[in-house]
Amino acid sequence: MMPEFMPQGPALIVGNTMRVLVVADTHFGAETFLARHGLHIQSNSDERLNRLLKCIDDSKCDLLVLLGDVKHSIPVTTWQEINEMPRIFSKIREKVPFKVMPGNHDVGIERFLEDGELLEKEGAVIDGVGYIHGHTYPSADLLGRLIVCGHAHPVVCLYDEVGCSLRSQPAYLLCSLDAGEYISKYRKNEQYGGFFETESSGSDAETGDAKGGGAKTGKGDGKAKKAKKVRGRAALSESYAYDTDTVSDAEPNNVEPDGNFFEKAANTHVLFVPAFFELAGGIDVRELKSSRLGPLSRCISTSDAEVFLSDGTYINTLGNLMDEGESKNIPVRSVRRSKRTADRLKDRPDIEGSRRGEG
């Protein structure tokens, strides 16, 4: 299974037993937000919708997955969104069935949707592939699969031989999870505090060191088997993505916390998808891990990460791009939350790792 890239989106077609069109971060209604900040532009929703409808026609898809941040304004729904969203969804329904994976900007979007169109924010498995917006930790049943993720708006900035930046381009980043780092952060999140039960409960999976040295169980089988890594583009192969012998289509939150958790995390790959919204901007792939923009981005394994343009053109490994930046003294911005923001978010594990109002 190699995804088909649609640069006119940017959009992605994932095919197995059905063709799934994936579009991330459309941000309908963003013009009202921009106007409130002094930038007055006419609504571009019709052009964006027509571009989306053309992607639907060209892809001949069976299902459309809107990968979060379909609308823009938070925490309220603006007059622009109230006027435009019903028509936008109506036009899409005329073309193809669709699902909405809610993002951090999608507060109140359920008022515009029909039964069965809204997915859980912790993610969903569709035709063997996991989908999530990216501002929350994924449901455990997404682990061990390819996860398609939005939220980060990845771009790649290319530099000439003297270090001058060319125009940034929307980009895809394919990587595996750093399992040790992921589990360490996962366990600290209060929302999932009950996932790893105490020793007395009889289910006491523990991680090894923070670098992913291994996993062990308290009273069980000792050390878990070392995870077999599937690297780079091999993660997109049909034999991996749909290995029903090792990964089942379990219902959400129906995976038991056992010694296989580390192995599943180590065999999880994430494909970060660029934003569909033409004015979204983005984060350079070199900075994505340090941006702290979502739990998955903070656990990127740079050892096998690869970067593609929106048309599928292979650029380089992320490690090589970062090394190139260091050799040319290209500054890498480290995005950190202020203490005030951290204090405000500490009781909101559902948006932990994201910056409210961004992404």
Domain 4-176+266-351 has CATH 3.30.70.590: no
Residue 50 predicted with pLDDT over 50: yes
pTM: 0.76
294 with 359: CB under 8 angstroms? yes
* Among the listed residues 191, 221, 206, the one whose alpha carbon sits nearest the alpha carbon of residue 257: 206
Task: Work out the pLDDT band at 111, boundaries 50, 70, 90.
Answer: very high
Arithmetic mean of pLDDT, 127-135: 95
Measure the CA–CA gap between 283 and 153, rounded to whole angstroms: 6
Determine phi and psi for 212, rounding to 5 degrees. 80, 35
234 with 269: CB under 8 angstroms? no
C-beta neighbour count of 26 within 10 angstroms: 29
Domain-by-domain residue ranges, the chain? 4-176+266-351
β-strand 300-309 against 169-177: which pairing, if any?
A: antiparallel
- pLDDT at residue 331 in the model: 57
Residue 194 predicted with pLDDT over 50: no
Residue 232 predicted with pLDDT over 70: no
Residue 168 predicted with pLDDT over 70: yes
Residues 6+ apart with CB under 8 A from 197: 203, 204, 257
Q: What is the Cβ-side half-sphere exposure of residue 212, based on CA atoms within 13 angstroms?
A: 23
Residue 227 predicted with pLDDT over 70: no
Q: What percent of the chain has a predicted confidence (pLDDT) above 70? A: 68
- pLDDT at residue 317 in the model: 93
- pLDDT at residue 184 in the model: 80
pLDDT in tens, 296-330: 999 999 988 999 999 999 999 999 888 876 665 56
